[in-house]
Copies of this chain bind each other. A is one copy, B any other.
Amino acid sequence: MEPTLNMFYGISIIVAAIAFLFAAYLYVWVKRQSQENKRITEVAQLIREGANTFMKREYKILGVFALVIAVLIVVFLPTPIWSKGAEIWKNIAMAVSYICGTVLSAIAGKLGLVVASLSNGRSAEAAKKGIKPAFLIGFRGGSVMGLLVVGCAVLGVSAVLLVVKEASILLGFSFGASSLALFAKAGGGIFTKTADVAADLTGKVELGIAEDDPRNPAVIADNVGDNVGDVAGMGADLFDSNVAAMTSALVIAQTLTGGVVEHLNVMMVLCYAALGLLASILGIATARITKNGTPTKALNSSTYVTSALFLAFTAGATALFGFSWHIWACSATGLIVGVVIGLATDYFTDDSKPIVKKCAGASKSGPAFTILSGFSYGFLSALPAMIGIAVSALVSYKICGTEALIAEYGANYPLFGISMAAVGMLSIVAMIISNDAYGPIVDNARGLAEMGDLGEETIRVADELDSAGNTVKAVTKGFSIGAAGLTVISLLGTFMSEANAAGANIAGFDIMNPTVFFGILIGAAIPAVFSAMLILAVDKNAQKMVKEIHRQFDTIPGLKEGKADAKPDYDKCIDVATTGSLRDLIPAGLVAILATVGVGFIGGPAAVGGFLLGNIVSGLLLSLFMSNAGGLWDNSKKYVEAGNEGGKGSEAHKAAVIGDTVGDPFKDTAGPSINTQITVVSLVASLLSAIFVQFNIFG
């Protein structure tokens, strides 16, 4: 068949529409499930309100930030308006595209939040009837977000390309998505762990009451945190990764054809992204717990189904439209490596595997050993993923780097292969988000079951669902960090082509060039600084919240003793977390952006190239380490709580709780935020490349 670009715009729009319709169907389905328990309805309402308040205040700040950036874009990007040959329409298009990116990202996050806060209570009540219906509500609630996020991404990217016919304008769209994600993830991450840590310390450790005991003034803030950090933040994060992967593939594809957009390579990117979404829709539709199945199995097997469908669909499309089989092989490599990274992560964080047991065993000797053991295994766990990313980049390069292919398609063809490996790895992202959003929903459901007094058996069911969420989360995180790694490699290529388009004449970044090396060292330090700032923010805010909780215990009579008429002031705790996280999210994000700008003005494009590399390498290492160590500590604690190594209340348990508390900001604040930080920095570099070429001190 003779394919045309319009055909693929059509396909993208149709698939996105199917995703939206299916999401609407699932939304209605979830909403129709019964929610009768008054207490649960009340608490769910409190959680919803808290989350909405936070999001409103956060979006207000981010709105101002986005407007400032948009104005800067109009003035400076892609070329400063006073420059010779500047086309003002491009600057305006870039700014509009940027705003669209932020708005779509915000909408996706917000809608995900709405449905998540509908699903949690319903899932808790369904748990009375058994694990299967409760699972389905949790999963489908999460899927609404997955479908919306990826639908928006596919639709947004296609729409921008359709209108402007120039992939580089997509950098603005992608930057919009990333900058919002950076702050949403950081802000939500600080919020959620501030509340979680403070609630655990005062409740579990000091008073010895259960995780979600309603006496604890921080308990609602904790549940709000699950929603704004893990649901909305994570949605923004993966929207960003997905858009960035498509953008860099499209920019490279268009460079390959010397700027022509009506080309098989460009069509291929759109087609693969749409097919990935289609595969995810089918995967989501078929997900359920089979006879004798477990929630973990259900989640994992639907991931495998989606992957297999994607490979089959894209093979079909490649045959039908005459796409390159080499590029198909790159995509397939990316996807398979993604699954392998996920499995490796699982090995280090699943409590049926030896590592979690070893870490739990170390807790018997005291908290220092818990920390040292989790720390070490966290570092070890980075190795398979680093090898996986390295291998998929190398394999893609080898597949597309033969002399014949380069002669036919240009020197950047291997880079296109790598970018399509990232698209492949992220193809099933709708499925991943569904799995990922499932986690906080059932985590909330567990809390609601406890607060609604639904009985022990229901809580046990909710616990099982929650534990599956934790395991699957580790896998999906490995997946998304891997994909971010591949994406930023291709963004490095994008940066180079953009800088060259601005007259830089760069053939590569030689590590023997000390300007590049200078950039590498600074770039490598940034993820460490960025995560340190986030963790310190959690550390500081959690201490404030602990103080507030103590104040309430001291001043509200009967609260500590659990008298029925003693009501904690939940709102005050929510306010502490909100104020703290909104104050601390901006500096951390700005450090990363300003460091890029600083290095660019000092060392020019060569230093920036190095900076991006250093940032990617240390960012991948640290985010893998922190996510996995955090997951490991969390599951070790759960393993001890399940009655091993002395069980609840033992010294080992106390040590394991300390490990879990350390791991909380690792895995839910810093670790996943680094992902976004890397992408933002890469996009900032690409966007400012022309300016760095013109103005720099040492370059």
Chain A interfacial positions (CB closer than 8 Å to B): 197, 201, 205, 362, 365-369, 371-373, 375-380, 382-383, 386-387, 389-391, 393-394, 396-398, 401, 414-415, 418, 489, 492-493, 496, 507-522, 524-525, 528-529, 531-533, 535-536, 538-539, 542-543, 546, 603, 609-610, 613-614, 617-618, 620-621, 625, 658, 661-662, 665, 698
Contacts and interface: CB of A to CB of B under 8 A. Distances in A.
Q: Which of A496, A516, A536, A617 has the most CB of B within 10 A?
A: A617
B613 A525 contact: no
Contacts of A521: 386-387, 389-390, 393, 617, 620
Contacts of A518: 390-391, 393-394
Contact of A524 (B362, B369, B511, B617): B617
A489 B517 CA distance: 9
A201 B511 contact: no
Nearest to A368: B661
A617 B620 contact: no
A47 B531 CA distance: 43
B393 A529 contact: no
Contacts of A617: 520-521, 524, 614, 617-618
Contacts of A613: 511, 520
Contacts of A362: 539, 543
Nearest to A528: B379
B528 A383 contact: yes
A546 B543 CA distance: 33
A522 B386 contact: yes
- A interface secondary structure, majority: helix
Given A372-B538, A380-B532, A524-B621, 7 more contacts: A201-B368, A366-B658, A368-B661, A373-B539, A394-B514, A492-B511, A510-B510
A420 to B, nearest CB: 14
Copies of this subunit:
2
Contacts of A603: 394
Contacts of A621: 524-525, 528, 618
Given A515-B394, A521-B617, A617-B520, A543 B387 contact: no
A368 B662 contact: yes
B658 A367 contact: yes
A674 to B, nearest CB: 11
A386 B662 CA distance: 26
A603 B617 CA distance: 19
B532 A379 contact: yes
Contacts of A511: 492, 508-511, 516, 609-610, 613
Contacts of A383: 525, 528-529
Contacts of A201: 365-366, 368
B496 A512 contact: yes
Which among A366, A378, A513, A620 has the greatest number of chain B C-beta atoms within 10 A?
Answer: A366
A516 to B, nearest CB: 8
Given A414-B514, A665-B372, A365 B543 contact: yes
Closest 8 pairs (CB-CB, A-B): A508-B510, A397-B514, A368-B661, A376-B532, A390-B521, A379-B532, A379-B528, A386-B525
A365 B200 CA distance: 12
Contacts of A496: 512
A670 to B, nearest CB: 9
B662 A371 contact: yes
